[in-house]
Structure formats: structure tokens, C-alpha cells
Amino acid sequence: MEQYVNKNKKQLRCGITTGTCAAAAAQAAARHLVFGIESKEVTIYTPKGVTVVVPVEFVTSSKDKVEYFVVKDSGDDPDVTNHTKIYVSVEKRDIDNAKELKIFEDESKQFCLDGGEGVGRITQKGLEQEIGYAAINTVPRKMIFETVREVCQIGEYKEKLFIQICVPEGKNLAKKTFNPRLGIEGGISILGTSGILEPMSEKAIIDTIEVEIRQKKAMGKERILVTPGNYGKSYVAKYLGLDMESSIKCSNYIGETLDLAVTYEIKQLLLVGNIGKLVKLAAGVMNTHSKVADARCEVFAAYAGLCGGTKESLEQIMECKNTDEMLAVLEKEGIKETVLELICKRIHEQVAHRVGDELEFGIMLFSEKYGFLGQTKDAGKILSAFLATKY
């Protein structure tokens, strides 16, 4: 059955995860191997509690091995793996040294699972899998093992089976994902905690941020560099001389990033970004997406008023379309530096209230037009620590 979600007053069609695709192809291949039945579609009960009917395509079969593929349907999500073919083969084969070969085993030891061409391999600590294993996450592994086990139980089939996932396009697709940054080489990951892919999922972005923070902690990093987006990354690299390959991109989810830093006991966090996003923190807005809240005009106008701005200047600020225009008004009034100093102070208070005493943080604000604009009280110290350690 098709699933829909409402986002921004639009009804969007859900898709299925790479994990669901792999489970469907595995079920079809197992049925063909055990019963000799060719399938055109299979039914998968997802962890979300939704039953989906997935079209499957037969590839090849022999006495001991069958292969199928599923074309991934991402629904209305702009996912890089949309329309990608996920191949799964099921083979009569006993893997007696799975642990040494870094191959997953189910509890019964009847089934083994591995990734082949186009499925990434783990090269760094901090991910769900150990180094050397295929990037097949826990929930997809469970789904695959359960679907194959059910087929074998119905057919009273006792032989050991080797299951392999291949994604021929995976190596090229991985370049468009976070995998290279996360230490996953050679292909994409087989993912999905619910089995259903919701369009433009905020959870997926936050999950990625969590993986990066968890991984840095596992690598012994106690200090992280965070930027909301590409503008911040460009400024950090050019003017601050920091290694952008080590930074975490938090998008609009600043509050969640702070929470995760606390959860994983990060000691220091430096956030560098454009004032258009970060000025919202002064109003306690920790999700900076414009659909959630804006408050840019209100923050600038409030602090301009506190610093002696005229009624006319406040009215002008409230009519501005972007922060550079607001800064121009403040500059004309001769209060730009004073206003920015108070805003940085308030940002520090708001973030400190969020993280308590568990995280030392610094925040640096800039604009493309005006360059560096200000920073919270501990930003300089944390920046120096980054530069000293050549982070």
C-alpha cells in the first residue's frame, strides 16, 4: 500500500529504504531457491508497521544460487538512490569463518550476509558496524534475516545460506552521500530504521549529524567544529584556516546538534556561521529554518532600540529583506558594533541555557558582505585550541 505524508501543505508520497529493497530481493531469491517459484512481487512487513508490496525482478538461477533485484522507489524524496537497482543473491554455501572474514551471521548460524560490489565498507570507528564489515545497518540486517528465515521455516529448509547485496551504481552514488566523510568506502550504505522513506525527512538529517558526532567521539575527538552550511564552511576554510574536512554540517538543526554534543560528552564545540541563521539564536530559535521561525528583523530591531536607534531606523529594519540590509541601517546609525556585541551576549545566554554546564561552546558570526561580525565569550579560546592542535 502507498503511504503519504503532509509537508508544507503538500501531500507527498513515501518511498522505501534500501533496507526494504534488499529484504524484498532476498525474500524473492530465497523463495525461488527453496520452492523453485519465480516471483514478480513480494510482501514486506516493515518495522514501521506498514505492509508494502514490492515489485521484484528475476536475474538468474542455478541449482545452488538465485539472484533478484529491486528498483528503489524513493517516492517524492529527492534521494540520490532513487531508481537504483539493489541486487541480492541467495546461495547454498557454508561460511565457517564469518567473523574472521567480517561477514554478518544471524543467531542461528544458518545465514550469513555480506555486501558485494557497490556496498560500502567501514574504515573508521563510531559507526553501527565494526571496521571491515559491509555498511549494512542493524535494522536492514534483521529484516533480511527474518524474511529468509521465514521462507526456510515454511519449506523446512535446513541448509546454510549466504546472502549478498550488490549495488552496481553504488560506488559512484556514494560520492553524493556523506559516506566518504564517515569513513565508508567503496559504495553506499544499506539503511532504514522504519523501512519507509519519508520525503525530506528531518530525522534522516539529524541521524547523520548524530553519526558524525558519535564517530568523532569514538576517534577520541573531544572538540568539534560545526557549520550550518556551505557559506559557513567557505568562511571557516578561507579566513580562519581550519580544516573543513573535520567539520560537521548541522544545517538548520542547531539545537539538536548541541543536544547530541552533550549526549556524546563532547568537551568543546565551535559553531561558525552566517548571521542570517545564527542571529535567530538570540531569540531562542534553535531550528533556523524559515518555515519554523524567523525573528531576524525582531532581534535586530529590539537591540537597535536598546542601543538608541531611532524610530525611523527600527521601522527600516522591520522592512529589510535580509540581514545585510539590517546591518547597513545599523551602520548608518553608528550602532552596528554595539548591537552585535549585545546580540552575541544574548546568543551565549540562550545556548548556555540549552546545554547547561556540560559543554563549553563558542559561536562566531559573519556575513558575506561585512566579514567577521562578532563572537560569544569563549569562541576565541576554542578557536585557538583548534589551531593549536591543527584540527
In tens digits, the chain (391 residues) has pLDDT values of 577 666 656 677 888 999 999 999 999 999 999 999 999 999 999 998 889 999 999 999 999 999 999 999 988 877 889 999 999 999 999 998 999 999 999 999 999 999 999 999 999 888 889 999 999 999 999 999 999 999 999 999 999 999 999 999 999 999 988 788 788 999 999 998 888 887 766 777 888 899 999 999 998 999 999 998 766 666 777 778 877 667 898 989 999 999 999 999 999 999 999 999 999 999 999 999 877 888 999 999 999 999 999 999 999 999 988 899 999 999 999 999 999 999 999 999 999 999 999 999 999 999 888 989 999 999 999 999 988 876 4
Q: What is the pLDDT of residue 323?
A: 92
Question: In this structure, are residues 233 and 227 in contact, taking their beta carbons and an 8 Å threshold?
Answer: yes
Q: What is the pLDDT of residue 123?
A: 93
Q: What is the pLDDT of residue 6?
A: 66
Burial (CB count <10 Å: 0-12, 13-18, 19+), residue 83 = exposed
Q: Reduce the DSSP state of residue 329 to 3 states and report it.
A: helix
Q: What is the pLDDT of residue 177?
A: 85
Q: What is the pLDDT of residue 246?
A: 74
Question: In this structure, are residues 111 and 161 in contact, taking their beta carbons and an 8 Å threshold?
Answer: yes
Question: In this structure, are residues 374 and 340 in contact, taking their beta carbons and an 8 Å threshold?
Answer: yes
- Whether the predicted model's global pTM rises above the 0.85 cut: no
Residue 366: left if φ>0, alpha if ψ -120 to 50, beta else—which one?
beta
CB contact set of 40 (below 8 Å; sequence gap of 6+): 55, 56
Model confidence pLDDT, tens digit, residues 118-162: 999 999 888 889 999 999 999 999 999 999 999 999 999 999 999
Grid cell listed for 27: 525474500
Q: What is the pLDDT of residue 92?
A: 97
CB contact set of 154 (below 8 Å; sequence gap of 6+): none
Report the length, in residues, of the chain.
391
Q: Note the helical H segments in the chain.
A: 18-35, 138-154, 170-174, 179-182, 202-218, 230-235, 254-263, 275-278, 296-306, 311-319, 323-333, 336-355, 379-389
Q: What is the pLDDT of residue 115?
A: 98
The closest alpha carbon to 157, from 33, 68, 63, 23, belongs to: 33
